[in-house]
Structure 1
Amino acid sequence: MLSKGVWDVKDFQGKTVFITGSSRGIGKEIALHLAKAGANIIITGKTTEAHPKLEGTIYSARDEIAQTGAKVTALALDVRDDAAIQHAMSIAAQEFGGIDILINNASAISLSDTTQTEMKRFDLMFDVNVRASFAASQAAIPYLKKSSHPHILILSPPINLNPKWFKDHLAYTMSKYGMSMCVLGLSEELREANISVNALWPKTTIATAAIQYNFPKEVYQASRKPEIVAQAALCILKQKVTGQFFIDEDILRAQGETDFSKYAVDTSAQLKLDLFLD
């Protein structure tokens, strides 16, 4: 359980945060919130040039975060390349004197059934979701062991074995639960090293490119803004707790939040519950 109390502008002063998939969406929003709370930020992602469908690049995200006054750097990174992950971690640690927090946010999605899932799409989801979470955590551990407030946060769901979450998109479900299994395993493996490892998942769908391009338009309108996930992430990261699977709304309610309408894309739309939550 988290103790009550919201974050303030000094909670992450001087802490260095490495975030995968942070050019846009949830990753960028978490980066912005942490930057405003005093953290040094490492933005990573594949998008280095403007994309016709995807908003932003690692450099536009860097420039936006720099406006908060935070120290920030942008590193081009394909999380499928473990050598590149290790190199990026090394660069970040050299620039900022270490790494205190790793956020495994990068994710690939394909809501297709087994016969419609090409193996290259299967491999992409497992490489970006499971393998990259493992590889980034592995690369970060030596730096986290030197930190006074080490934490790994993985954007993955609580494991729900209701068959309905497997029948329509088996490959995607397995890949996201693989990320969640990293939380279960790493939290125990790293407990003696005092490295916290937790998961965060939104209660509703979040207005990101993944929702925009994989769901009907009405689902996007029935979503919440990434800000709610970022607020919840900071509540988790400021405390020493490990091995937990947190839901964003539940965290903020426990912190005393009562007005969730401010997070809605469209306050007139009925919110859409996210995947893996009954």
Structure 2
Amino acid sequence: MDTSKLTGSTAFITGASRGIGKAIAIALGKAGANVALFAKTGEPHPKLPGTVYETAEEIEAVGGKALPIIGDVRDEEAVADAVKKTAETFGGIDLCVNNASALNLNSLGEMEPKRYDLIQQINTRGTYLTTHYALPYLRESSHAHVLTLSPPLSTDAKWFAPGPYTASKFSMTIMTLGVSESESDNGIAANCLWPKTTIATAAVRYGLGGQDMIDRSRSVDLVSDAALAILSRNPSDYTGHATLAEDVLHEEGIDDLSPYSVVEGQTDFHQDLYVEKDS
């Protein structure tokens, strides 16, 4: 995988204190990028490992430059200020990665209004705010990408049972693909990325299936490697896709996915949400 186009670029990533966001941030740092980390976690959580400052340290340890910023994607002023600070610190923004997300699979009837508001504000509105304030800087870049961690769209009714969450994740995809259309003349690529299998994150451990599902998951490196591949591509050649991480890796010539298994030798992986079995 040729990541030379990422050397010296600047990325703004939301939710990068742990999990997939952290993995993408470190991978970009290793590729020589400047990475701004926007996340809420500045102090260690009693149950969830990782802070934005720890991620920054790991980025610098692999040769990248990091700018940790504490903030909430629901706060418009905080997002705007963080994006501006990133551009002022590094001289612009080339890559906008919408990773921050909240998970709640309750049905409409079971979900409290405050929980509904939370997932819509983080997932849908957070993606909107981050991308909106990054766009003026992306328009000035010669290698501009928006990458959102959201799924391909599906009309299969089985995904509509957790309606509030599905609406929020599909909205993230729709807005990102919309950017691909509205900003094509400005040379900005916009794509979405999603894994076929569950990924070993805190959200999977505590929000979905515990240790058993973790054992049947793949590592965050699978998504970060796919993200790096997309962000390295020519923006004019690759835009408007809502694609699966495994398919991206296949396009890069990576067909042996066994190194990404959490449990060595595992063959019974848990299918992720919004993915059909024949995908």
TM-score by length of 1: 0.95
User: Residue 7 of structure 1 contacts residue 234 of structure 1 at CA under 8 Å; is this kept in 2?
Assistant: no
Please report how far the alpha carbon of residue 227 of structure 1 lies from its aligned counterpart in structure 2 after TM superposition: 0.2
For residues 63 and 246 of structure 2, the distance between their equivalents in structure 1, rounded to whole angstroms, comes to 29
User: Residue 153 of structure 1 contacts residue 200 of structure 1 at CA under 8 Å; is this kept in 2?
Assistant: yes
Count of residue correspondences: 271
Please report how far the alpha carbon of residue 7 of structure 1 lies from its aligned counterpart in structure 2 after TM superposition: 2.5
User: Residue 42 of structure 2 contacts residue 52 of structure 2 at CA under 8 Å; is this kept in 1?
Assistant: yes
Instruction: Name the structure 2 match of 1:208.
Output: 201
Which residue identity is paired with 1:123? D
For residues 275 and 159 of structure 1, the distance between their equivalents in structure 2, rounded to whole angstroms, comes to 11
Query: Among residues 268, 273, 276, which one is paired with 2:274 in the alignment?
Result: 276
For residues 101 and 32 of structure 2, the distance between their equivalents in structure 1, rounded to whole angstroms, comes to 26
Which residue identity is paired with 1:189? S
Instruction: Name the structure 1 match of 2:2.
Output: 7
Alignment of 1:79-228 (within 5 A): 79-167=73-161, 169-217=162-210, 218-228=212-222
Please report how far the alpha carbon of residue 115 of structure 1 lies from its aligned counterpart in structure 2 after TM superposition: 1.9
Unaligned runs of 5+ in 2: none
3-state SS of paired residue (1:200): strand
Query: Among residues 241, 255, 258, which one is paired with 1:261 in the alignment?
Result: 258
Instruction: Name the structure 2 match of 1:57.
Output: 51
Which residue identity is paired with 2:260? Y
For residues 96 and 254 of structure 1, the distance between their equivalents in structure 2, rounded to whole angstroms, comes to 32
For residues 99 and 258 of structure 1, the distance between their equivalents in structure 2, rounded to whole angstroms, comes to 32
Instruction: Name the structure 1 match of 2:15.
Output: 21
Unaligned runs of 5+ in 1: 1-5
For residues 153-206 of structure 1, give each alpha carbon's deviation from its aligned partner in whole angstroms, at most 9, with x where no partner exists.
000000001000012x11100000010111221111101111110000011100
TM-score by length of 2: 0.95
For residues 232 and 189 of structure 2, the distance between their equivalents in structure 1, rounded to whole angstroms, comes to 11
For residues 101 and 271 of structure 1, the distance between their equivalents in structure 2, rounded to whole angstroms, comes to 31
3-state SS of paired residue (1:43): strand
For residues 203 and 43 of structure 1, the distance between their equivalents in structure 2, rounded to whole angstroms, comes to 26
For residues 223-262 of structure 1, give each alpha carbon's deviation from its aligned partner in whole angstroms, at most 9, with x where no partner exists.
0000010110111111121111111001111211121111
Aligned-residue Cα RMSD (Å) equals 1.0
